[in-house]
Amino acid sequence: MESRHLRYALALAEHQHFGRAAASLGISQPPLSAQIAAVEREIGERLFDRTPRGVFPTAAGVAFLARARRALCEMTAAAVEASRAARGETGRLRMGFIGSALLDPLPGVLGRFRRTLPDVRLDLREMSSPESAAALVAGELDVAVSRGAPRGAGVEGLVTVPIGADHLVAVVGVGHPFAGRAEIRLEQLAAERLIVAAPEQEPAVAAHLRGLFGVDATALDTATLSRDIHTITGLAACAVGVGLGPSRMRLASRKDIWFCDVAPRLRLPDLQLSFRAADDSPVLAAFLDVVRANCAEVGSRLDGVLAGRRARSSEPAPDRG
Amino acid sequence: MESRHLRYALALAEHQHFGRAAASLGISQPPLSAQIAAVEREIGERLFDRTPRGVFPTAAGVAFLARARRALCEMTAAAVEASRAARGETGRLRMGFIGSALLDPLPGVLGRFRRTLPDVRLDLREMSSPESAAALVAGELDVAVSRGAPRGAGVEGLVTVPIGADHLVAVVGVGHPFAGRAEIRLEQLAAERLIVAAPEQEPAVAAHLRGLFGVDATALDTATLSRDIHTITGLAACAVGVGLGPSRMRLASRKDIWFCDVAPRLRLPDLQLSFRAADDSPVLAAFLDVVRANCAEVGSRLDGVLAGRRARSSEPAPDRG
DNA sequence: CGCACGCGATATCTTCAGAGTATGGAGTCG
DNA sequence: CGACTCCATACTCTGAAGATATCGCGTGCG
């Protein structure tokens, strides 16, 4: 049984006439008769009643035609779905991200992704930077947004591009002496009770801060550790101390807190977008297109990385287009 | 796109190896390569990654294969369903019947039908004999069980076989003088208040009774008219009068009624099974097979009728078996 | 480091199924 | 009763699928 037989049977059922059905198929009448006869011989049942008033499906024909229609629909859908999958319009993208990324780059990127590729299932999982790096290497994620480039085993197989810079800012409750001041000096922080991200959550930030404070890191050793930005601002609002975090923390502003720049301006490890270099998934490619379209400066960085990948992957099939 | 392409792609996905997939398909490797290449060219996307460690579907291939599997399932199902439909194992049978048929022939016939052809939808509608005849002619029913052969326009297109004989019996409440008597004479009934089927429900019976009672039909003119057998027995139990009905009414026995044979034994119009002579539906044929298997005496009557039909319908395709 | 092997792609030939043309036969209608 | 319509049959032909032989390439083992 070939799909041609299904098409021919459907055309015959539609036109109820061998000659016209054959014409609609672009063939002459005898081959159509032969093919229909072949199907009937294969199934062992007559599918059409040839009457002087037209050709009508038998009970067997009705049952056959119903399935034939569905089969042909599946076949065309196979081609369409394959094409869409190749363009990354269907499928799944598993993304790990740190909570602070939800404040700045992710809303725009994810919104655009949803709009341009509505049929891609987005699996979003908030996780710490070390967790996302491990999950990416293990193949449990397709893309990760972390702070600082991934560390650990297998990261050489990852491509990483910076997607957001931050400098250190302080946050205090509105009752704190710092409230109302545009900036404070780093030295002033050493005397304060600090609130910072937990090292196991953001080791890159923790190490960076320790470097900034130098040998006199007692302030850090007695700091209150927080899981995420919202805990830092919340604790600052409770006057537990002075929160320290990335500048995008300002986007999580509240009425009861005040942000101060820290002088000198101290750059934190960048937000990084990572994915497996060997991952040629079209969904990932489509996602990277969205990222590139959304942030121009990231785009140029990505282009450099992707140029190499695309050149390599297009070599085996240069005649594809 | 041909179903062959789907089969080849599925085999390749299964074996992850061109050579072995080709062998499993009974062809050599080069044609398989060519066919896979043809599909990929038609869709415009690579469906398989040829790696030194095996052949694996791309994202497009995964989407394609999923649909391909379904399409092939539908195709085989088309053949199977057509075959089943031709044998009358699927489809629908619309039957009209009079209530009294539910007492005797229908339980056995319908039970066997359900058992042997569980996937045929049975549409059962109780209706009077004239109604079922009209519905049969109009194509709203496939088969009818009525009392007496159908009358009216279009009945010449129907085939009718008797499927049950009845004689007239009387039914009375247990308090009635007739109670306990095995039989009573027809003349004795003329003096009783009678309960009979309404003429519009069963005109054949009504006409027959009028013939039996002859010119002195005043008893019938003043009779209580009932819609069905259960109303007759129910009214008899209430001592409203003497019920008259077909002998299969005995099967609707109750503690509070008594049945008497009527002497002389008066045969009522037979229960008749009717269907359109032009109806070559396999479901109808399968149903008639069940009827034949269920009642031997009906079978022989049916055989005579069906022999002619089958000879005619098999002429155009004598080589079918 | 090189050779051999495995595997997919390519080239060329062959075959057969499907398509075309011509015609036959059955049924219908004027 | 003849002409017409329509499907089936007979026969030829073409093209696509398949077979055989071979190439190119990458891998892995010696």
DSSP state letters, A203-272? HHHHHHHHHHHTT--HHHHTPEEESSHHHHHHHHHTTS-EEEEEGGGGGG--TTEEEEEEES--EEEEEE
Structure tokens at A129: 């930077």
Domain A3-86 sits in CATH 1.10.10.10: yes
List the single residue in A1, A58, A84 with the smallest CB-CB distance to B3: A1
The answer to whether the A3-86 and A92-163+270-314 domains have the same CATH topology is no
For residue A63, what are the contacts with CB-CB under 8 A and spacing of at least 6?
B78, B81, B82, B84, B85, B90, B91
pLDDT at A316 over 60: no
Assign domain B164-269 to a CATH class: alpha beta
Which of A83-92, A279-288, B200-209 bottoms out in mean pLDDT, i.e. has the lowest?
Answer: B200-209
| A90 interaction partners in chain B (CB closer than 8 Å) | 63
pLDDT at A35: 94
Chain centroid offset of residue B125 CA: 11
Task: Determine if strand C comes within 7 Å of the CB of B18.
Answer: yes
Segment among A1-5, A14-18, A104-108, B201-205 with least mean pLDDT: B201-205
Model pLDDT for residues B225-277, shown as the tens digit of each residue:
988 889 999 999 998 889 999 999 999 888 999 999 998 888 988 999 999 98
Average pLDDT value for residue range B202-214: 82
Confidence of residue A320 (pLDDT cuts 50, 70, 90): very low
Q: Is the pLDDT reported for residue A307 higher than 70?
A: no
Q: pLDDT band at B216, cuts 50/70/90?
A: low
Q: How far apart are CA B179 and CA B192, in angstroms?
A: 14
Cβ proximity of A115 and A144 under 8 Å: no
Q: Which nucleotides of D are covered by protein (CB under 7 A)?
A: 6-11, 17-21, 26-28
Summarised one tens digit per residue, pLDDT across range B139-195 is 999 999 999 899 888 888 899 999 989 999 999 999 999 999 999 998 888 888 899
pLDDT > 70: what percent of chain B? 94
Distance CA A127, CA A146 (A): 9
More confident residue, A73 or A204: A73
Name the nearest CA neighbour of B37 among A320, A196, A141, A92.
A320
Residues in chain A closer than 8 A to B280 (CB atoms): 58
CA end-to-end distance (rounded Å), chain A = 33
CA to C1' distance (Å), from A18 to D5: 12
Q: What is the CATH number of domain A92-163+270-314?
A: 3.40.190.10
Binned at pLDDT 50, 70 and 90, residue A216 comes out as: low
Please give the average per-residue pLDDT across B8-22, as a whole number: 93
The CATH code belonging to domain B3-84 is: 1.10.10.10
B91-163+276-314 sits in which CATH class?
alpha beta
Q: How far is the CA of A172 from the C1' of D7 (A)?
A: 92
- Rounded mean pLDDT of A235-260? 92
Q: Is B267 helix (H, G, I), strand (E, B) or coil?
A: strand
Q: Is the CB of B33 under 7 A from strand C?
A: yes
Residue B236's alpha-carbon distances to A82, B169, B210, B219, B228, in angstroms, are: 75, 13, 20, 16, 13
B40 and B46 in contact (C-beta within 8 Å)?
yes
Our CA-based measurement puts residue B281 at a distance from the nearest CA of chain A, in whole angstroms, of 7
Mean pLDDT, residues B10-31: 93
Indicate whether B319 pLDDT > 80. Answer: no
Instruction: Calculate how close chain B gets to A54, using CA atoms only, in Å.
Output: 16
Of A45, A46, A85, the CB nearest to B63: A85
C-alpha distance from B54 to closest chain A C-alpha (Å): 16
A-B contacts (CB, under 8 Å):
145
**What average pLDDT does the segment B118-135 reach?**
94
From the centroid of its chain, how far is CA A238?
37
Residue nearest to nucleotide C20 (CA to C1'): A28
Chain B positions in Cβ-Cβ contact with residue A71 (cut-off 8 Å): 71-72, 74-75, 78
User: What does the domain layout of chain A look like in residue ranges?
Assistant: 3-86, 92-163+270-314, 166-269
Report domain A166-269's class: alpha beta
Q: Is A148 left (phi over 0), alpha (psi -120 to 50) or beta?
A: left
Tokens of A173: 């409750």
